[in-house]
């Protein structure tokens, strides 16, 4: 079970305040403060919530009777998860309570050479204060209404929380997953990116914003309609 010293070390390594970790773990600031000071006898569920929040922030906690370790994985590349669960991971990373603290969010599209059908995938490179997350193995695409909804939902969150830190690459890249994570990150950082002002700028790189809007934009409750409405309101 995680110790008070490991919690303090983990916060230091990801540059997180007590209030930020408490919010991410779903506990009170007073509770976390007491745990870090060794006061009281915290519940197992509380310690598990703290460790889970730190794990989501890329921190691995290990320990036995002889050693305690706190390891930060500076580069994370989630496996090819189901797109629904993957989109939840993206939204957690982008949200206001994220311990990642994004300072740069990059949208890009890549070809997928491992399939017969050539359909670009939508990818994200989220750079935080202490580590980065590369979502390039998940099959985010605009192939149907459900998949388009996932992409639009992600873009809604990006524009809501990180508009001033949002960029995109204005060409479809080769398959980035053929490179090791550190090499893929290096390549992405070396490429010229452009500030993203409107979702159509990115969508038009590999698809058609107008076509997507004519197909899904008027469906009540579809995130693409909500995304379009956000910018329609701003234009008024």
**Can you identify the CATH homologous superfamily of domain 75-235?**
TTHA1528-like (3.40.1530.10)
Domain(s) labelled CATH 3.40.1530.10 in the chain stretch across 75-235
pLDDT score at 221: 81
Domain(s) labelled CATH 1.10.260.40 in the chain stretch across 4-72
pLDDT band at residue 234 under the 50/70/90 scheme: low
pLDDT higher than 80, residue 4: yes
Q: How far apart are CA 123 and CA 173, in angstroms?
A: 10
pLDDT score at 116: 56
Half-sphere exposure of 171 (CA within 13 A, CB side): 7
pLDDT higher than 80, residue 153: yes
Over the chain, what is the mean pLDDT? Answer: 92
User: Secondary structure of the chain in the HEC alphabet?
Assistant: CCCHHHHHHHHHHHCCCHHHHHHHHCCCHHHHHHHHCCCCCCCHHHHHHHHHHHHHCCEEEEECCCCEEEEECCEECCCCCCHHHHHHHHHHHHCCCCCCCCCEEEEEEECCCCCCCCCCEEEEEEECCCCEEEECCCCCCCCCHHHHHHHHHHHHHHHHHHHHHEEEEEEEECCHHHCCHHHHHHHHHHCCCEECCCHHHHHHHHCCHHHHHHHHCCCCCCHHHHHHHHHHHHHC
pLDDT score at 235: 52
Tens of pLDDT, residues 155-183? 999 999 999 999 999 999 999 999 999 99
pLDDT band at residue 236 under the 50/70/90 scheme: very low
Half-sphere exposure of 46 (CA within 13 A, CB side): 18
pLDDT score at 166: 96
Joined tokens for residue 151:
């992409």
Q: How far apart are CA 222 and CA 29, in angstroms?
A: 37
Average pLDDT over residues 215-227: 86
Average pLDDT over residues 221-226: 88
Q: How far apart are CA 223 and CA 153, in angstroms?
A: 6
The predicted model scores a pTM of 0.89
84 touches 19 (CB < 8 A): no
CATH number for the domain whose boundaries are 4-72: 1.10.260.40
- Residue 91's alpha-carbon distances to 10, 138, 150, 191, 193, in angstroms, are 22, 14, 10, 25, 22
């Amino acid at each position: 079970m995680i110790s008070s010293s490991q919690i303090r070390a983990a916060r230091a390594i990801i540059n997180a305040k007590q209030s930020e970790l408490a919010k991410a773990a779903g506990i009170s600031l007073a509770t976390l403060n007491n745990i870090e000071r060794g006061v009281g006898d915290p519940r197992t569920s509380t310690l598990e919530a703290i460790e889970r929040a730190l794990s989501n922030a890329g921190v691995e906690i290990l320990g036995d009777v002889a050693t305690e370790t706190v390891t930060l994985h500076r580069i994370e590349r989630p496996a090819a998860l189901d797109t629904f669960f993957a989109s939840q991971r993206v939204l957690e990373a982008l949200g206001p309570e994220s311990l990642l603290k994004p300072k740069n969010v990059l949208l890009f599209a890549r070809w997928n050479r491992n399939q017969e059908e050539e359909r670009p995938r939508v990818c994200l490179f989220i750079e935080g204060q202490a580590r980065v997350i590369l979502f390039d193995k998940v099959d985010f695409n605009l192939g149907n209404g459900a998949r388009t909804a996932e992409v639009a939902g992600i873009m809604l969150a990006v524009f809501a929380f990180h508009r001033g830190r949002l960029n995109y690459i204005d060409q479809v890249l080769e398959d980035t997953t053929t490179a090791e994570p550190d090499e893929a990150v290096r390549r992405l950082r070396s490429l010229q990116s452009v500030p993203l002002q409107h979702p159509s700028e990115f969508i038009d790189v590999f698809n058609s914003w107008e076509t997507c809007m004519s197909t899904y934009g008027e469906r009540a409750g579809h995130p693409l309609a909500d995304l379009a409405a956000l910018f329609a309101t701003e234009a008024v």
